Structure 1
Amino acid sequence: MTTSLWLALISSFSRLAGVALGAALTGQAQRRQWTRDRQVGACTAIVVQSTRVQLALRQQWRRAQRVDWAPWNEALAEISLIVATPAGVEAAGEMDELFWQNSEMVVRGELNDETAWEAASQRMEAARLNFINTAKRHVIGSRSRLNRLPIRRPQSPDGWPASPSPATLNSTTGESGGGSNL
């Protein structure tokens, strides 16, 4: 074989190897990005559903309404499958444990006034904050931490929550005309 033929073969092989290596690296990067996106989505579902469950627990306490646990359990299943760090799964489990404890306290009548609810709510919000900071650190890779949730409840002179005035109640449903009466 001549030198020019060898150079052509080496050049062709080098191009093919470069294309194959580039495709492999691109595929790996896309899989990592897809996984990261799924992890962020799973963490978002936990935060959203934890808020929903906390509000539902308040409804269970205030109005004897049942909590629909299915969306929360689905979010827990997703986080268990998607999030690779045990810390994230553990932080979600801590919220789940608090939710069940508080639900049992409602059933037994141990959450019997606003002060008891506020204490339970603070524990649930602390667990949610811990989960958010854990997810930020382990999934997103952020070193920043939240010191508190962006929840800013209005205070009434007699404590939270302020009771709706008769003018804000809808006469047909008895529900508050604006915002949540949770």
Structure 2
Amino acid sequence: MTSPWNIAIPAVAALVATLSGVVIGALLTRHAQFVQWSRASRLEAYVAFLKAYSVVYDGLGHACRHQTNPTIDWTQWNQALATLSLVSTRSVMENAIAVDNAIWSIDACIVNGDSGMGRWLEFRKELEAKRVSFVNAARRELAVEQAPLVQVVGSNRRAGMIIHNNNDNPPQASYPISDRAPRATPSKSVGDGE
């Protein structure tokens, strides 16, 4: 005759194994979904930061080249920084802060009259170096397994153009020295009213 324990022990063992599998599977799925959500959140924050950067960059560039005070709405920029502080790693945030510090320093220089095309070319080099550092930190953190970038080009003119570090062919400037060609002023003919 079979003991009730001979039936109960295998049934309980099967039940425990099944429940353990369900719990472990749920934990692994939850972890994978969290990792995916976290990566997507960081990527979204990095894109928002770079979009806000392009608005600020264009505003500073226009003000500096035309020797006027910047008229920038800082709301989008501050929101992008706040979002980064919530989701990014320390390395990415340090690079974002370096970009922010450079922007505020350049803004102060322009407001104090330190502007003009020659000065903008100097400012632009500093800003672009900080932006490349930010992009490379973000790429490392997002596990983009490619060589670090030496230049990232993207504005309203050439959005998305990227130059990779290639030791055989050093990167060349991919845009003219001035952001936009000077506009021709219409000439008045003798009979035009003033």
Provide the rounded CA distance (Å) in 2 between the counterparts of 1:104 and 1:164: 28
Provide the rounded CA distance (Å) in 1 between the counterparts of 2:32 and 2:138: 21
- Corresponding residue of 2:80: 75
Q: Give the CA deviation at 1:87.
A: 1.1
From 92, 95, 100, the equivalent of 1:91 is 95
Q: Give the CA deviation at 1:163.
A: 1.0
Runs of 4 or more above 4 Å deviation:
none
Q: Give the CA deviation at 1:160.
A: 5.5
Provide the rounded CA distance (Å) in 2 between the counterparts of 1:133 and 1:17: 42
Counterpart contact for 1:40–1:140, Cα < 8 Å: no
Q: Give the CA deviation at 1:146.
A: 0.8
- Residue type at the aligned position of 1:80: S
Pair 1:136-2:133 in alignment: no
Q: Give the CA deviation at 1:164.
A: 2.7
Q: Give the CA deviation at 1:17.
A: 1.0
- Corresponding residue of 2:38: 35
| 3-state SS of 1:2 partner | helix
Counterpart contact for 2:49–2:80, Cα < 8 Å: yes
Q: Give the CA deviation at 1:56.
A: 1.1
Counterpart contact for 2:70–2:110, Cα < 8 Å: no
From 100, 106, 110, the equivalent of 2:104 is 100
TM-score by length of 2: 0.76
Superposed, which structure 2 residues align to 1:36-75 within 5 Å?
36-61=39-64, 62=66, 63-75=68-80
Counterpart contact for 1:114–1:160, Cα < 8 Å: no
How many residue pairs align between the two structures? 162
Counterpart contact for 1:45–1:75, Cα < 8 Å: yes
Structure with the greater relative contact order (CA < 8 A, sep ≥ 6): 1 or 2? 1
Deviation string, structure 1 residues 117-136 (Cα, Å, up to 9, x no partner)? 11101110110001000111
Provide the rounded CA distance (Å) in 2 between the counterparts of 1:116 and 1:48: 24
Provide the rounded CA distance (Å) in 2 between the counterparts of 1:106 and 1:148: 25
- Corresponding residue of 2:127: 124
What's the Cα RMSD here?
1.9
- Residue type at the aligned position of 2:107: S
The unaligned stretches of length 5 or more in structure 2 are: 155-173, 187-194
| 3-state SS of 1:144 partner | coil
Q: Give the CA deviation at 1:150.
A: 2.6
Provide the rounded CA distance (Å) in 2 between the counterparts of 1:45 and 1:140: 19
Deviation string, structure 1 residues 126-154 (Cα, Å, up to 9, x no partner)? 10001000111123353521111135323
Deviation string, structure 1 residues 82-105 (Cα, Å, up to 9, x no partner)? 11x211111000110111111111
Provide the rounded CA distance (Å) in 1 between the counterparts of 2:94 and 2:5: 66
The unaligned stretches of length 5 or more in structure 1 are: 168-182
